[in-house]
Structures are given as structure tokens and as C-alpha cells.
Structure 1
Amino acid sequence: MKKKLILVSALALFISCKDNKQAISTDEASVATEEVKESIVPFQDEMMENAVIYEANIRQYSPEGSFEAFTKDIPKLKEMGVKILWVMPIYPISQVKKKSANGKFAEDIEDPNEREKILGSYYAISDYTAVNPEFGTKEDFRKLVKTAHENDIYVILDWVPNHTGWDHVWIEQHPDYYTQNENGEIIDPINPETGESWGWDDVADLNYDNPEMRKEMIADMIYWIKEENIDGFRCDVANNVPTNFWEQAIPQLRAEKNVFMLAEAWQPELMENNLFNMVYGWDLHHEMNKIAQGKLTAEAWEEKMKEVQEKYKKEHLLMNFTSNHDENSWNGTVSERLKGGVETFAALSFMAPGMPLIYSGQEYDMDKRLRFFEKDTIYKETNKMFSVYKKLGQLKNNSKALSTGEQPASYEVVENSSPKKVISFKRTKGKETIIYIANVTENEVEVELNLEGDFKDYMENNKTLTIKNNKKIKMLPWEYHILK
């Protein structure tokens, strides 16, 4: 719903003044005639129940690596059922200690041609309220947000609260904003469990004992909400930041706007007391990888689901994913990790309780590890998975049986005769039920299911599949069914 709030306000002002024949001031007239900002319906928690989230890697999405190039494809995201767009960090990158893939800093590379290729990590930020000129201008970013909103998609920014780059203005002006060693030297982030460096030596660790730093951090976050109309944040290593900071910050953010908050973390307590809306489903992600690689059997899925259901409350929301920027660059492509089950586990991420994530390039069958510190490109030569994600997204958006949130759909195991090879469960809400059955091995299997009846196979154009008790069905390697 688009609201022309400014124009209506100006008209109301004119009517209220007409009795005393006061003229509208020049400033008021300019407000009435300026271009009206397009708006999206304010975000509400129930909108998460059937949403899909997309992670945008602006640098690698296109040969141009620009906001403008990405913005052109936003309507395609809507086709895949995307409701939330997570944009990887868009801020200027520190030029000091700019890291390369081999761990060297750019300034230590002698060859000027090789040094020029090093763009650095998105997560080494030199200014929280500016945009990286590599991607375009702030006006280009505004067009991206406006286009997303016109397509009923909310935009959340990747926020990096744990550390900054080494040439952030705070380094010189406020060294007390940073963690320092016994010699008064600013240090890179430390693993609290070991007391050793994480190895993130291209960034400087922020000191959350400093209340002034906290105030400035919150002010910078509010800037993007008030001035740039974004709808929330994905917070990098959120569990490395004190929870009491989030208890301080998030209410202030929501006083401006009801924002969506995603934590790169897994702790249930981060979703308590109206803090984060969603955390990472790391447990289920790792289980999918291990099952696909034959390190675990299909039984491990249900065992992990029981653990997850005990660990989190029914209203807690987990992000389900088969890839993201870290997994792709450091742990392997989906085909490396999931073997022949790329589509099978993509479907599982949509059918399981939670919100499914699509990472840039997955819709174009991307089968390479994107370079992290240099320019790379996602090629769009094939797009088999686009049609898969489109069908899955439409089902997720429109099926009560796949709902999450305060009143989630139920999750129930469907017993089968090959529990080490086949995952089978059903989701139900009201009168609607959806069943997922998958052979998660590279071998053909015959399986008997505790089901009876004629079902519509959603991914096969609603072709009828008849299942009878005491009668096995044959499933090819990695074959799956979504039955309605």
C-alpha cells in the first residue's frame, strides 16, 4: 500500500488555515509539491510467518558489482517469494590492514597489479553511515530500497557491531572506544573462551564497557532507519556483543520503526524479551551437510529436530539455509557439501519449521566458491534452481501448513521402513497438511510409508501419487516429494 502522507499533511494544513486566510509558507508549499516517498506497509511480526529471506552480495552479484545492477533484478526476488532482503555490508572498507585471500595485508604486497585487486573484507568498516563507492552512491542505494519496497520486500542491512576497520574515525578520535592491551594498544577481537585472537587482524575490537561508544553505535543504526528508510538489521557475530547492549539498543530502534532483527547467532535467549526476531539454524544446517556426505544417516535429522524443539520455544524463528556468504567462500559450494542433494535439501529448508534463506547465485545454479576479498562474478548462464525456488517460495508464502511464529504449523514424523535413508514428515495447520518425503542417499531405495491415499505431488505439477500401507514406492537417488 503506497501512502502519500506528505501531500495529505499539506492539504490538512491548508484547510486548517483557510478561515483566517493565512497563506501557506514557501517551505510548506515545497513540502506539498516535493516528490512523495514510496512506502511499504509497516512491518508486522505476523509477516514473518510465511516469508523467504534473500542475502544479497552486491560486489559479486553482477560484473558491475553495483547497487544499480542488483536493483534491476529485485522483481525476480519477488517471484521467488522473497519478503526480506538482507544486504551484505555496504559501508566503506578500511584501507589500512586491508586483507587478501592468503592472509597478507594489501600494503605488504609488492606487485602493484596484485595489490590493486585486493578490495578487502566487507566486515572491516571505516564509516558506519556512508556507502562503499565500489557499489555506487547513496542515491543508488536509496533506489534499491525504494524498488524493494515497491515489490513488497523489506530491506535489512548487515550491521557489524563487534569491530571496525583500522582507519575508522573512532580509532583516532576515540581510542577508548576500543579494547586495549596492557600497553594501551588497540587489539583485534579475542575469543573469550581461549583468550586468543580469532585471527581477524584486519579489524579492531570495540569496547562495550564504554557507554559513549554504545550511544554512537545506536545513533548510527538509527540513522539508517530514519534517513534511509531501511527495515532492520542482520547483526554480525551478535553473540560476541553483550546481550545487555541489545537490550539497550533494540528498543530504541523499534521506537523509530518496528524493525526486523536477525542475529548471526543461535542462542535462544537472544529472541527473548522482544529482542531478535530470528537466529541462525546452524544445528540443522550442519546436519544436512553431514547427511548428504554420508557421515550421518537420515535418522540424524529427526534426532536433531527433537533437540531443536527442546532448545527453542515454538514461537522462536530459525533461519534455514544450505548456503550463505561464509559457507560458500570458506566451506564449499552447495554441490561440494550436499553432493547430488542440492535441490533435495533446498526443498527441506523450505519445508522444515523456520524461514528459508536464498544466497545470491543459488537461483542461478552457482557452483563455485566466490572470492571474498577480490572481485568475482555470479554468472547467470543457467537458472534451473530459479524455477525450483519460485515454486517453493510460492508454496511457502501461501501455505498455512508451513507457517512459523506465534501460531506455527505442527511438525510430525511420518514413519517409514527405511529411516536411515528417507526423511519423511508432515506439517499441519487447520485443515491443511503438507508432507515431505526425501531419499537423502545416492542410491535408489524402496520404502513403505505410514500413509494411505491419493496425494498431489506439488513439484510435479500436482501429479497424483498413490501411496498405500504395506506397499513400497521406489525412490531414485536424492528424489523428493512435496505432497498436498
Structure 2
Amino acid sequence: MTIQKLLYAATALSLMWSSCKEMPNAENKQDAAGNFPAYIAQSNIYEVNVRQYTPEGTFKAFEAHLPRLKEMGVEILWFMPITPISEVDRKGKLGSYYAVQDYTAVNPEFGTLEDWKNLVNKAHELGFKVITDWVANHTGADNRWIKSNPDFFVKKADGTLAYAFDWSDTRDLNFENPLLHDSMINAMKYWLTETKIDGFRCDVAGEVPRSFWQHCIAELKKVKPDIFMLAEADVAWIHDAGFNASYGWDGFAKMKKVARGEASAKLLDTSLMKLEETFVPGAIKMYFTSNHDENSWNKADYETMPGAVHAPFAVLSQTWKNTLPLIYSGQEEPFLDSISFFYKDTITFAKFERSAFYKTLLGLRKSNPALAVDAAYKKLVSSNDDAVYAYIREKNGRKVLVVLNLSANPQTVTIKGEFSGEADNVFGGKKEKLTDGQQFALAPWGYAVYSY
């Protein structure tokens, strides 16, 4: 065995021992879910597609939108990958953000490192938190590690570098190599220390070994104790590994079925059953009506939830149990088209027709602790649960009642539950007296939200 192999083995044993020590058991799973930075409790996320956001597609050009997004109530800005894009096997003219050429450099398409630092500083001055997309599972086809550290990569039987699915512009990383762990973690630390970002959204996080994330997140917390870590994954162990929030893919898939009329509103309860039965108690899920994947490939939200159909599901994503909601670039306009992945395809901003709607929802989340990620949730029974989905959130003596018509027909229903009292009709702009067993009249895809 060579000295290098001995070093690999020793480091691997160290990582395995560290992972075993950090693995939460059944008794401390609540700690795993409750361990999140305080600022996300009543917060929200806005995904920024820099390339398509402005005609210039630069950090500097995006800065002009910061005051508008602040006014709308946005708090956490998630930037899709800002690293350079590989040229070998590039898809389309500009390539995929997720084919990383260099983990510690800035995509010149967007500007310079100083431009990025200035943007982060200005965002922080306005009160935003800033996270960037991190692609740990794979690199681009000409990532600089391919030459400097070829043993960081998975090789096929013929000796060529492997890639998954149809991602021919990428190359898979080999996490059995412990030296890769250190290099990846050091690259992430660079962005925390050099540019002062607040955390990461981690691409296909469930495909990266749990042992790596446990080691990685523990190390990142030494640099930034209140780091926010979001996983693109819908698996329970991701929370045990140290992530603060994960994707609500299952909930979104069921929302789409209800929106298409393929299932009743009752289907949504199965997502919460999965959350209760599979995930750690209190696990925070990011719910959404669109994101860059769903928009580019599956026509969200302009066809999956067209026109009036969008609104009740947006309300749901903002107010559901354990949710940290997401808004994607252009949804406030709304930009009713797919946003290209590999080419320049500028979002048109002009009318901002949903801005007031989102501002109301984001403002409610901030002002009423009943919508905090750890607030209580109770499903309410209506006289037509196939069409109407109703629930109440509660914390610190405050409540939010949500009534959604998830059907294309008008509904008049009675709802049972402990929600009596005077409340603000959030979208109606007036106070109303609510009583148990009250009747609610809802337009097709209508919604009512009460705060008290």
C-alpha cells in the first residue's frame, strides 16, 4: 500500500468515526430539526437567475432590483451558481450553471469577484441574507480538478470519466476519496470568508454521501455558526446530516395533480403524513409553485397552475406546515414563459401584477408568529374536503386561518374548528367575526386568509 493510499485510509476512518459521533438517534431527532438559524423562522426565499434577470445579465444590473424586492418583503436571496461554466461538452451557447469549471472563481459572464462582493454588501445593508447554489455532486467536463486531481472523479470501466443521466456536460465526483472532502469544504469556506455569504443551497444533495455533509456542515459552522443550509432533496436523512431545510418535492408533485383536476384536495394530506412519519419532527420544507427546474423543463407555474389556479397554491406554499416558501425570478411579474437554461432569455419586467399579492403574504409571514416554521398546524374539516382545504396555524397566542378552494367550481362550505374570534381578513382588508361552523363562499380557485 502506498503512502497516499495509507493517508486515504486513515482519513476515511477519521471521517467515519466523526460521522458516527455526529449521527442523531431517535431521542435527539427533535434537536436536528430545531437547530436552525433564528432568522429563517418567519422568512422566505427568492431565487435569482442572474443571467436572465436583466438584459445585461450581470451582478451590477441586478443591484437595481434590490430595493424593489426589499419592498415586496423578500428576505433570503438565493443565487443560482455564480462559478464559471465549463466549455468542454457545453450544452447550448452559454452552458449550464451546474457544470462548474472552477469552484473558487466567478463566472465572467456575471462580472468580477469585486462586483459580487459589492452586491453581497449592498444586499446585507438592506437586510437581506444571501446564499449561493453549490454543486457538490459533479463538476463540469473541464473542471480544473480533472487535471490537478484526477482521482477526485468516478471512472468508467474504459477509464473515461463518468456522468449521470443525460448530464453529458458534467463529470461525477468520487466521494470515496477523503481528500476530495477537504478540497470541497475548503472551497465552500472560501465563499463564506472571502465574500461573507450566509449559506448554500446544495444541488442534488441527496446524491452526495451523508458522511460528507455531516463533516462539511460541522466544519462550515466553525466559520459561520448561523449558516443556513438548504438541500435540494426530499429524503429524511438530509436533516440528520445537518441541513436546516429540504425541498418539498412530494408536496409540489401533489399540488400539480390537484391543480390539473387529477386528484382531490385530500391528496395534500398524504404529503403531511410523509412529513410526520418519515422526517424528523419539525423538519423544515421549502414549498414553491415554481423554481428554475420546474419552469425550464415543466412549464411551471404558467401551465402547471395557469391564471387564477396559481393563487391558492401560492397561499398554500406560504402558509402550510413547516414551510419556508420560495418565489422564483419573474413570478411577481408574472413572466408567463419558460426561462431558457443554456441560452440568453431575458425575463421581461414591466407590470409586477403579483407583487402586491406576494407582499401581502410575505408581510403576514413576518408579522404573525403563527406562520413560523415551528408554529402548530391543525387541519380543519369542511363540508366538502374534496374541494376545500382548510387549516389553522398557531403560536404565542396568535393564529392564522387559511381556507382554499382547490377546484374549478365555486364552493360554499361550512368549516368546523376552534377559530372563533375577531380576525383580519388579510386579502379582504377588513375585520370579521369568525365562529365555529361558519360558512365560507369561495370563487373557483378562491382563497381566504385570516390573521388574529
Report Cα offsets for 1:176-215 as digits up to 9, x if no partner. Answer: 11101122211213xxxxxxxx111110111111122222
| One-letter code aligned to 2:245 | M
**Residue 36 of structure 2 contacts residue 244 of structure 2 at CA under 8 Å; is this kept in 1?**
no
Report Cα offsets for 1:274-302 as digits up to 9, x if no partner. Answer: x1111001111111111111011011122
Is 2:146 aligned against 1:171?
A: yes
Per the alignment, residue 265 of structure 1 pairs with 233
Are residues 252 and 454 of structure 1, via their aligned partners in 2, closer, same or farther at CA, if it must alter by over 3 Å?
closer
CA distance in 1, matches of 2:134, 2:381: 43
TM-score normalised per structure 2: 0.88
Per the alignment, residue 434 of structure 1 pairs with 400
Is 2:422 aligned against 1:464?
A: no
State the 1:468 CA deviation: 6.4
**Residue 243 of structure 1 contacts residue 270 of structure 1 at CA under 8 Å; is this kept in 2?**
yes
Are residues 401 and 144 of structure 1, via their aligned partners in 2, closer, same or farther at CA, if it must alter by over 3 Å?
same
Q: How does 1:99-110 map to 2 (within 5 A)?
A: 99-100=91-92
Per the alignment, residue 411 of structure 2 pairs with 445
Per the alignment, residue 354 of structure 2 pairs with 385
Are residues 303 and 214 of structure 1, via their aligned partners in 2, closer, same or farther at CA, if it must alter by over 3 Å?
closer
| One-letter code aligned to 1:382 | K
Q: How does 1:22-33 map to 2 (within 5 A)?
A: none
Report Cα offsets for 1:86-127 as digits up to 9, x if no partner. Answer: 110011111110113xxxxxxxxxxxxxxxxx1000001111
CA distance in 1, matches of 2:407, 2:53: 32
CA distance in 1, matches of 2:390, 2:99: 43
State the 1:421 CA deviation: 0.6
TM-score normalised per structure 1: 0.82
Equivalent pairs: percent with the same residue?
41
| One-letter code aligned to 2:346 | T
State the 1:136 CA deviation: 1.0
Per the alignment, residue 59 of structure 2 pairs with 67
CA distance in 2, matches of 1:220, 1:209: 18
**Residue 417 of structure 1 contacts residue 449 of structure 1 at CA under 8 Å; is this kept in 2?**
yes
CA distance in 2, matches of 1:84, 1:252: 22
Gaps of 5+ in 2: 1-34
Aligned with 2:121: secondary structure? helix
CA distance in 2, matches of 1:313, 1:241: 20
**Residue 175 of structure 1 contacts residue 186 of structure 1 at CA under 8 Å; is this kept in 2?**
no
- 68-77 vs 416-425, which moves further: 68-77
Report Cα offsets for 1:322-358 as digits up to 9, x if no partner. Answer: 1100000001131311133211111111110210001
CA distance in 1, matches of 2:289, 2:246: 15
Is 2:103 aligned against 1:128?
A: yes
CA distance in 1, matches of 2:433, 2:68: 31
Per the alignment, residue 341 of structure 2 pairs with 372
CA distance in 1, matches of 2:327, 2:290: 7
**Residue 457 of structure 1 contacts residue 465 of structure 1 at CA under 8 Å; is this kept in 2?**
no
Is 2:327 aligned against 1:335?
A: no
State the 1:453 CA deviation: 5.4
Per the alignment, residue 441 of structure 2 pairs with 474
Are residues 332 and 129 of structure 1, via their aligned partners in 2, closer, same or farther at CA, if it must alter by over 3 Å?
same
Q: 2:84 aligns with which of 55, 77, 92?
A: 92
**Residue 80 of structure 1 contacts residue 392 of structure 1 at CA under 8 Å; is this kept in 2?**
no
Aligned with 1:146: secondary structure? helix
Aligned with 2:303: secondary structure? helix
Per the alignment, residue 255 of structure 1 pairs with 222
Aligned with 2:427: secondary structure? helix
Aligned with 1:251: secondary structure? helix
State the 1:171 CA deviation: 1.3
Per the alignment, residue 106 of structure 1 pairs with none
Per the alignment, residue 51 of structure 1 pairs with 43
Give the 4+ runs in structure 1 shifted more than 6 A: none
**Residue 92 of structure 1 contacts residue 126 of structure 1 at CA under 8 Å; is this kept in 2?**
yes
Per the alignment, residue 8 of structure 2 pairs with none
| One-letter code aligned to 1:458 | V
Q: 2:117 aligns with which of 142, 145, 156?
A: 142
**Residue 341 of structure 1 contacts residue 478 of structure 1 at CA under 8 Å; is this kept in 2?**
yes
Aligned residues: 412
Aligned with 1:460: secondary structure? coil
Per the alignment, residue 323 of structure 1 pairs with 290
Per the alignment, residue 377 of structure 2 pairs with 411
Per the alignment, residue 295 of structure 1 pairs with 262
State the 1:265 CA deviation: 0.5
| One-letter code aligned to 1:437 | V
CA distance in 1, matches of 2:66, 2:439: 44
Q: 1:358 aligns with which of 327, 341, 348?
A: 327
State the 1:44 CA deviation: 6.8
Q: How does 1:180-195 map to 2 (within 5 A)?
A: 180-189=155-164
CA distance in 2, matches of 1:289, 1:170: 40
CA distance in 1, matches of 2:404, 2:95: 41
CA distance in 1, matches of 2:433, 2:114: 52
State the 1:153 CA deviation: 1.2
Q: Which has the larger radius of gyration?
A: 1
State the 1:474 CA deviation: 2.3
**Residue 51 of structure 1 contacts residue 81 of structure 1 at CA under 8 Å; is this kept in 2?**
no
CA distance in 2, matches of 1:287, 1:157: 28
CA distance in 2, matches of 1:314, 1:172: 44
**Residue 289 of structure 2 contacts residue 300 of structure 2 at CA under 8 Å; is this kept in 1?**
no
**Residue 275 of structure 2 contacts residue 283 of structure 2 at CA under 8 Å; is this kept in 1?**
no
Are residues 220 and 369 of structure 1, via their aligned partners in 2, closer, same or farther at CA, if it must alter by over 3 Å?
same
State the 1:250 CA deviation: 1.2
State the 1:466 CA deviation: 5.4
CA distance in 2, matches of 1:119, 1:225: 27
Report Cα offsets for 1:234-261 as digits up to 9, x if no partner. Answer: 1111111111111121111111112111
Per the alignment, residue 394 of structure 1 pairs with 363
Per the alignment, residue 203 of structure 2 pairs with 236
State the 1:76 CA deviation: 2.3
- 305-314 vs 124-133, which moves further: 305-314
